[in-house]
């Protein structure tokens, strides 16, 4: 097999595939350690919020209130959720001179750094050696191995499921003027603690068919609950048959027409 030549720091615009090798290392020994955690915009996906709120042992609604800025987007159903930086120094609230306090549960952009993924599935360096001294380090990484080591695949899987909602919404403008739809969609995607109460403490269970194993998974696993929330949103917004409505919950006139 042909050996890949490491991408040099000045090649930050080079497009690389998963078998490319790049030079990078990070830690307290690097002069710019944690500087990349300052004055940056980190957009959070639902899975990012899930991991962070669990790492902090904080209910999702409290996490959203304290650590995020929610930015509505005109003609978009789902707002942008951005990690709130400290007001005084614009640094990430979870980083100190010793490093990241939520490193095991850090968001997708932090895991990918110094890489970025292009629209065609290739990768590029997101910065250069003048700003990131870690790119001057001699340690090398094959991108495919790096992604696994950084725990990216699970994030990619969950973000792909999320894109099954966001992509159709971008492709079509839904005529929605009911604020409750906005609120319920956001709750299902980002506020899992409240969504779990909605599922188990409202009439939800009497309206949809779910087997005992699924119910137990939703009670115990935030990941399973988030996947279920994706299905619920696709059912409600796009009419996809991701959930089964109980016959007893179908209006008689609808049942007779079916």
pLDDT at 161 over 70: yes
Q: What pLDDT does 27 receive?
A: 94
Reported as a single tens digit per residue, the pLDDT across 206-238 is: 999 999 999 999 999 999 999 999 999 999 999
- Do 182 and 77 contact (CB within 8 A), yes or no? yes
Q: What pLDDT does 76 receive?
A: 82
pLDDT band at 101 (very low <50, low <70, confident <90, very high): very high
Q: Kindly list the distances between the CA atom of residue 10 and the CA atoms of 80, 129, 132, 133, 140, in Å, as whole numbers in the listed order.
A: 32, 7, 11, 12, 15
Q: What pLDDT does 179 receive?
A: 81
233 against 179, higher pLDDT: 233
181, 183, 186, 188: CA torsion to nearest 10:
-80
Relative orientation angle of helices 60-67 and 192-201, to the nearest 10 degrees: 150
- Residue located via tokens 């906005």: 182
Residue range 196-205: mean pLDDT, rounded: 95
Q: Kindly list the distances between the CA atom of residue 11 and the CA atoms of 17, 32, 46, 62, 156, in Å, as whole numbers in the listed order.
A: 14, 20, 33, 42, 25
What are the φ and ψ backbone dihedral angles of 154, each rounded to 5 degrees?
-65, -40
- Residue located via tokens 């020994």: 29
pLDDT at 1 over 50: no
Residue range 75-86: mean pLDDT, rounded: 92
Residue range 90-107: mean pLDDT, rounded: 95
Residue range 116-133: mean pLDDT, rounded: 92
């Amino acid at each position: 097999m042909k050996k890949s030549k490491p991408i040099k720091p000045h090649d930050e615009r080079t497009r690389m595939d998963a078998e490319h090798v790049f030079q990078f290392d990070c830690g307290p020994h690097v002069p710019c350690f944690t500087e990349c955690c300052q004055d940056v915009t980190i957009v959070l996906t639902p899975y990012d919020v899930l991991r962070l709120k669990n790492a902090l042992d904080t209910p999702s609604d409290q996490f959203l209130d304290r650590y995020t800025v929610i930015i509505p987007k005109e003609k978009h159903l789902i707002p942008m959720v951005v990690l709130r930086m400290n007001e005084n120094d614009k640094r990430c609230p979870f980083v100190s001179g010793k490093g990241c306090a939520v490193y095991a549960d850090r968001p997708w952009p932090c895991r990918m750094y110094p890489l970025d993924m292009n629209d065609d599935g290739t990768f590029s360096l997101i910065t250069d050696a003048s700003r990131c001294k870690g790119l001057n380090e001699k340690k090398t990484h094959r991108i495919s191995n790096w992604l696994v080591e950084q725990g990216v695949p699970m994030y990619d899987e969950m973000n792909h499921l999320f894109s099954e909602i966001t992509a159709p919404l971008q492709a079509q403008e839904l005529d929605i003027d009911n604020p409750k739809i906005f609120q319920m969609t956001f709750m299902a995607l980002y506020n899992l603690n409240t969504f779990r109460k909605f599922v188990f403490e409202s009439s939800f269970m009497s309206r949809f068919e779910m087997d005992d194993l699924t119910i137990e998974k939703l009670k115990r696993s935030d990941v399973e609950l988030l996947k279920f929330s994706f299905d619920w949103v696709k059912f409600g917004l796009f009419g996809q048959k991701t959930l089964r409505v109980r016959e007893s919950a179908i209006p008689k006139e609808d049942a007779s027409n079916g």
